[in-house]
Amino acid sequence: MHHLQSSVADEPARAWFDQALRVQPRSFFTEVQGCQVHYLAWNPEERHKPTLLLIHGYRAHARWWSFIAPFFTDSYRVVALDLSGMGDSGRREQYDSQAFVDDILGVVDAAELAPVTLIGHSFGGGRALQACAQAPERIHRAIVVDTYVFMSDEPRPNVPLPRTVAQPYASMEQALKRFRLTPEQPPGPTWLADYVAWHSLRRVNGGWDWKFDRNLPRLVSVPNGLLELAKVQVPVDFVVGEGSAVVSPEHAARMVAVLPKARGPVVVPQGFHHIMMSQPLALVATLRALLAVEQTLHENN
């Protein structure tokens, strides 16, 4: 494990983070359409509990959830996957949105998670909504976190696409210095960014490179998001960061209006697009509240 540097002043602030990381997940693989898809399971033996599947954003990986997932293991069996071409999953010759939906449903089946609650961030939220539309019998509900869904009658958010250097980095330290969030946002704790960055790297011939497949398309979307959203018949909660550069208040309200069974948008104060980096504990509290409200409604009916 990479040693994360922190000052004495940081130690009280990061106590929750260190405690969460003490709960280490187990690593699994399953084959989906000829590709080895990797997933982490924090408490796979607790099969009596309802299930959560956490889905990361584009070019990210399951470890973005490592300091979030342990907050839910008391009540849920918790799993996070690496979408194909990202994290520790295998690579495909071609990628499209359906391939990533297949990854999600493949892990749902392999880990026997159905009926599952999907929690997806950004790109992962969009694929979660597609999975809800295609397999409602396997999905209990979804919580979508700062996800933009393309609609043909409105412009895309003005977010620069990520750029990478052509060659591997000579050292891990050099690569870590190049780690950037896309879109960029005010920096959070350095130890949090260091953890995510370190788990984003792999050793290759000639040095260190990012884990994601460089052949991933620069943009993956569904041609008409309005049609896809209208097909989603499972309950959906929509969470958005107050300072998101991706999801405007107008877009968030429109998504909730189009989804047949949606609540929200729930706005996280001082949260940016990568909410688990800018407001991790506020995200935990928001998710816990949404899950608890649903559980209370279930118990009262």
pLDDT tens string, the chain, 301 residues long: the values are: 344 444 444 667 899 999 999 999 999 999 999 999 999 999 999 999 999 999 999 999 999 999 999 999 999 999 999 999 999 999 999 999 999 999 999 999 999 999 999 999 999 999 999 999 999 999 999 999 999 998 877 777 777 666 666 678 999 999 998 898 999 999 888 899 999 999 999 999 989 999 999 899 887 777 677 788 999 999 999 999 999 999 999 999 999 999 999 999 999 999 999 999 999 999 999 999 999 976 655 455 4
CA 118/CA 132 separation, integer angstroms: 9
CA 251/CA 38 separation, integer angstroms: 32
- In this prediction, residue 295 carries a pLDDT of 62
CA 65/CA 274 separation, integer angstroms: 11
The answer to whether the CB of 237 falls within 8 A of the CB of 262 is: yes
- In this prediction, residue 296 carries a pLDDT of 57
CA 36/CA 139 separation, integer angstroms: 22
Which residues, in sequence order, are bridge partners of residue 203? 208
Which residues, in sequence order, are bridge partners of residue 116? 51, 139
The strand pair at 26-32 and 35-41 is best described as antiparallel
Place of tokens 């790297």: 201
The strand pair at 51-55 and 77-81 is best described as parallel
Q: Give the helix/strand (H/E) hosting 181.
A: none
What DSSP designation does 169 have? Answer: B
What DSSP designation does 150 have? Answer: -
CA 228/CA 132 separation, integer angstroms: 10
- In this prediction, residue 10 carries a pLDDT of 61
Distance between first and last Cα of the chain: 47
3-class state of residue 118 by DSSP: strand
Q: How many CB atoms lie within 10 A of CB 147?
A: 27
- In this prediction, residue 28 carries a pLDDT of 98
- Cβ neighbors of 93 (< 8 A, separation 6 or more) are none
CA 198/CA 108 separation, integer angstroms: 27
3-class state of residue 195 by DSSP: helix
What's at 177, amino acid-wise?
K
The answer to whether the CB of 256 falls within 8 A of the CB of 263 is: yes
CA 57/CA 240 separation, integer angstroms: 14
* Nearest alpha-carbon partner for 87 in 139, 29, 167: 29
